[in-house]
């Protein structure tokens, strides 16, 4: 007897998911560049003012939360398509209250 479960997925559905995956991989690459630029802006601001920029921290935290959702989708760990097909994700963790430099 064959105890393997029957698949209800068609090759067409797989192809559609693959197309979305390729688009989200490209978007993920853009997000990586945005995160790098955000890091550089934050450190320039920090060197000039000796304080971090809270709006930049909040923006970066949202971008990395979004990038995490994309990675879950493209690695087949989540079925829900990321933004713009759903709401923009909430922050997964809030930033630390105080930044220290050991």
Residue 2 has pLDDT above 70, yes or no: no
Contact 52, 99 (CB under 8 A): yes
Q: Is the dihedral of CA 83, 70, 65, 91 positive or negative?
A: positive
Q: Which residues, 6+ apart, have CB-to-CB distance to 51 below 8 Å? A: 45
For 6-64, the pLDDT digits (tens) are 668 888 999 999 999 999 999 999 999 999 999 999 999 999 999 989 999 999 999 99
Domain boundaries, the chain: 28-92
Tokens for 3?
């105890």
Q: Is the pTM of this model over 0.95?
A: no
Q: How far apart are the first and last CA of the chain?
A: 64
């Amino acid at each position: 007897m064959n105890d393997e479960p029957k698949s209800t997925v068609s090759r067409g559905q797989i192809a559609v998911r693959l197309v979305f995956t390729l688009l989200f991989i490209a978007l993920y690459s853009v997000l990586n560049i945005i995160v790098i630029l955000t890091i550089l802006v934050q450190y320039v601001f920090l060197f000039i003012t000796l304080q971090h920029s809270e709006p930049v921290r909040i923006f970066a935290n949202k971008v990395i939360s979004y990038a995490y959702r994309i990675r879950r989708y493209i690695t087949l760990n989540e079925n829900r398509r990321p933004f713009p097909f759903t709401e923009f994700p909430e922050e997964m963790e809030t930033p630390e209250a105080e930044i220290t430099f050991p």
